[in-house]
Structure 1
Amino acid sequence: MNKKPELLAPAGSLEKLKIAVKYGADAVYLAGKSFGLRARATNFSESELLEGLHFAHINGVKVYVTVNILAHNPDIDRLPSYVRWLQTAGVDAVIVADIGVLSLIKEHAPGLEVHVSTQANVTNFKSAEVMKKLGASRVVVARELSIDEIAQIRQKADIEVESFIHGAMCMAYSGRCLLSSYMTGRSANRGDCAQPCRWSYHLVEQQRPGEYMPVESDDRGTYIMSSKDLMAMEFLDKLVYAGIDSLKIEGRMKSVHYVATVVNAYRQALDSIYNGEEFNSSKWIAELKKASNREFTSGFYHGKADHTAQNVHSTKGDTEYDFVGIVQDNSDQKKHAIIEQRNHFSQGEEVEIMMPGGIIKKAAIKNIWDEEGNVMEKAPHPQQLVKVALDTDVKEFAILRREK
């Protein structure tokens, strides 16, 4: 069997970084306040990035920083000082889409490892070879490739290969889209996508202005460009055998619950493959469905994606569980914990607890107290800190969720 691939998780904020690390990521990717393609994620100030780097590194986890905008001239003027700072800070790699940016990094921060973003549309081994000659150590291949095509790139090009395995899919080719810029003035290729592909649409005939016709018989319109979410768990073992070096989860804009659930599921599944256990994907697919998703598709991994990869009925994700809280501290007593509330919960409720290390178990909330020690029947306020008595032990960073 090939070496175990890296599990690469999204970190849209410092909290999400810590969750990804604790739930089993080998590496995380994030953005500073500039030059990344998720401008509306929380992203990291310099002090937060340094704190995140320290937390990740003491836990043996790598940190990659996105510098993957399609740069314009003013960006080029501002980049040298930024990439020099990233090198000094000790980030493990930067992710770039623009070959001019790649060249600039090699000139001003030669110690930085460079990974080429999926935005660069690497779809063949010759492109991968060119990226290596330019100084890249890894390519994030385009999402439009099959397992066999990715395996051939890995075999023929002497460069690491990273591929997306889970998360939102873009209706444009590897994310290169002008819809947002055209319709809202917010450029997707500069990190500010408004996601108009997720909006509801009707048709209008040129000679009949104001007469809107639904594409399907639905008074909400239709989401004709909205893709289902990618999910590769069903054939994760085949991706391992293809020799992919890094398996990437999309989702810097997603919730803490999403990051914990998805990273945990893929971590346990990968470990089971390498432990020689029978690969039971259905178990982990059921777990993935507990996080918000727009239904699942295998994307292009088995060949060209067809109409079944689109969800024309809705743009919103759905989940079978509500995220109700996260354990901030359990140092008082094993069965008592400080919980940060994320959704209302009440004394006597049954919840499911997911903990770092893959432990998932049911528990009952026996008592609730506020920060002054007053007894509460329920925790109704968002992000309120409460002390909770449970009928089982918990760990810091444990996630409490409730079946709908």
Structure 2
Amino acid sequence: MKLVELLAPAKDYAAAAAAVDYGADAVYIGGARFGARQAAGNSAEEIARVVEYAHRFGVRVHATLNTLVWDDELEAAERQARSLIDAGVDALIVQDMALRRMDLPVELHASTQVSNRTPEGARFLGEAGFARVILERNLTLEEIRAICAATAAEVECFVHGAVCVGYSGRCFLSRSMSARSGNRGVCSQPCRLTWDLTDGKGRTWIAGKHLLSVRDMNLSQRIGDLLDAGVTSFKIEGRLKDLAYIRNVVAHYRRAVDEALALRPGLVRSSVGESVPDFTPDPSKSFTRGESDYFLDGKRAGVASFDTPKAVGERVGRVAGVSGG
């Protein structure tokens, strides 16, 4: 039997416990430093608490050390990695290849920040000792299928949440405009700001719109397609999201993954137990910039969110007319 994993974000112990309770097979959480969400750091002691709770249900814990590391930080990064291993984590998610050379006694997963988007790159990472490759978010289903066929490593892909307008780990917009770098865990998200579209003659065609802001991803209706392509881990984005988001979105994807697994006898979920939410999950009721399949079926219109980078809310109707001022 092949194990399939629903992987949920956790900014702290409370979020991790909620993810476990509502159906996650694994959670990913940041250590004190060197995570791509610096604002979501946790001590090794806190992560040990997460491990203790998660492992009761066969839920794995993956810790993020997925920033680039300066030479003078290598010893500190290794100390943190080993403290997280001592805390019982099942895998480390890394970007900097220096961590691959530290002979760490734990699974290493190549972060999406490595910009994993080709069969050749995925095959290399598997041969170099990575247990898992986490895909770039803008790939098509055919590209994902080719990558899965090319590598012996497990393949993880994002299925829900925010999308970067640039390649993960290859966008330097924040660092170019400020002292804050996404590859150091402190992206200022300038892609969510307003921009003007001008031409070489100085004419402005669009003014004050969020021209680089992308809608959020929702692939809950495509889990079966991704399973058939070879994906074994489905990742929800959002290590800074609140508990209501975690409960709602994880419960929604638990249902979607279980429905897809029921049609594929050779595949089973990787954790144990049963989660029964006391509400009807609906991602449109949580933070969303609008939903999109992004580029899963190829490049197409409908992925942009020009009007606002914030939550658009649930659609309730359309204004038919206005009268009386």
TM interval, shorter chain, is 0.7 to 0.9
2:206 to 211, 215, 227: 215
Give yes or no for the alignment of 1:275 onto 2:270: no
1:72 maps to a residue whose letter is W
Structure 2 counterpart of 1:292? 287
Compute the displacement of 1:77 (Å).
3.0
Structure 2 counterpart of 1:180? 174
Structure 2 counterpart of 1:144? 138
1:266 to 240, 243, 253: 253
d(CA) in 2 for partners of 1:286, 1:95:
29
CA contact (8 A) 1:228 1:311 kept: yes
Structure 2 counterpart of 1:87? 85
CA contact (8 A) 2:78 2:99 kept: no
Cα–Cα, structure 1 residues 206 and 238, in superposed 2: closer, same or farther, change >3 Å?
A: closer
d(CA) in 2 for partners of 1:121, 1:205:
31
Compute the displacement of 1:319 (Å).
2.9
Give yes or no for the alignment of 1:170 onto 2:164: yes
CA contact (8 A) 1:167 1:249 kept: yes
Compute the displacement of 1:55 (Å).
1.1
Cα–Cα, structure 1 residues 319 and 207, in superposed 2: closer, same or farther, change >3 Å?
A: closer
In structure 1, stretches of 5+ residues that fail to align are 278-284, 322-404
Give yes or no for the alignment of 1:67 onto 2:65: yes
CA contact (8 A) 1:144 1:174 kept: no
d(CA) in 2 for partners of 1:203, 1:97:
34
d(CA) in 1 for partners of 2:192, 2:182:
14
Q: How does 1:5-404 map to 2 (within 5 A)?
A: 5-41=4-40, 43-104=41-102, 106=103, 109=104, 111-202=105-196, 215-216=206-207, 221-276=208-263, 287-304=282-299, 306-320=300-314
CA contact (8 A) 1:71 1:101 kept: no
Deviations 1:225-253 (A, max 9, x none): 00000111122211121121101010011
Compute the displacement of 1:131 (Å).
1.1
Secondary structure of 1:29's counterpart equals: strand
Secondary structure of 2:39's counterpart equals: coil
d(CA) in 1 for partners of 2:185, 2:173:
13
Compute the displacement of 1:185 (Å).
1.2
d(CA) in 2 for partners of 1:264, 1:203:
40
1:299 maps to a residue whose letter is Y
Max Rg structure: 1
My pick for the range that moved more, 17-26 or 123-132, is 123-132
d(CA) in 2 for partners of 1:202, 1:289:
30
Compute the displacement of 1:275 (Å).
2.7
d(CA) in 1 for partners of 2:194, 2:222:
32
d(CA) in 2 for partners of 1:181, 1:264:
36
2:149 maps to a residue whose letter is Q
d(CA) in 1 for partners of 2:228, 2:311:
31
My pick for the range that moved more, 132-141 or 243-252, is 132-141
Higher relative contact order (CA 8 A, sep 6+): 2
Cα–Cα, structure 1 residues 213 and 160, in superposed 2: closer, same or farther, change >3 Å?
A: same
Compute the displacement of 1:153 (Å).
1.8
Q: How many residues align?
A: 300
In structure 2, stretches of 5+ residues that fail to align are 265-279, 316-325
CA contact (8 A) 1:103 1:134 kept: no
d(CA) in 2 for partners of 1:46, 1:273:
36
CA contact (8 A) 1:201 1:214 kept: no
CA contact (8 A) 2:44 2:84 kept: no
My pick for the range that moved more, 57-66 or 194-203, is 194-203
2:211 maps to a residue whose letter is I
Deviations 1:132-181 (A, max 9, x none): 22211110022222112212222232111000111100011124322212
CA contact (8 A) 2:244 2:286 kept: yes
Q: Runs (4+) of structure 1 moved beyond 6 Å? A: 204-208
Cα–Cα, structure 1 residues 206 and 258, in superposed 2: closer, same or farther, change >3 Å?
A: same
CA contact (8 A) 1:202 1:222 kept: yes
Cα–Cα, structure 1 residues 159 and 317, in superposed 2: closer, same or farther, change >3 Å?
A: same
d(CA) in 1 for partners of 2:149, 2:204:
50
Secondary structure of 1:308's counterpart equals: coil
d(CA) in 2 for partners of 1:196, 1:13:
26
Structure 2 counterpart of 1:391? none
Compute the displacement of 1:204 (Å).
7.4
1:186 maps to a residue whose letter is R
- Give the TM-score taking structure 1 as reference length: 0.70
- Structure 1 vs Structure 2 CA RMSD: 2.3
- Give the TM-score taking structure 2 as reference length: 0.86
d(CA) in 2 for partners of 1:124, 1:46:
34
Identity %: 36
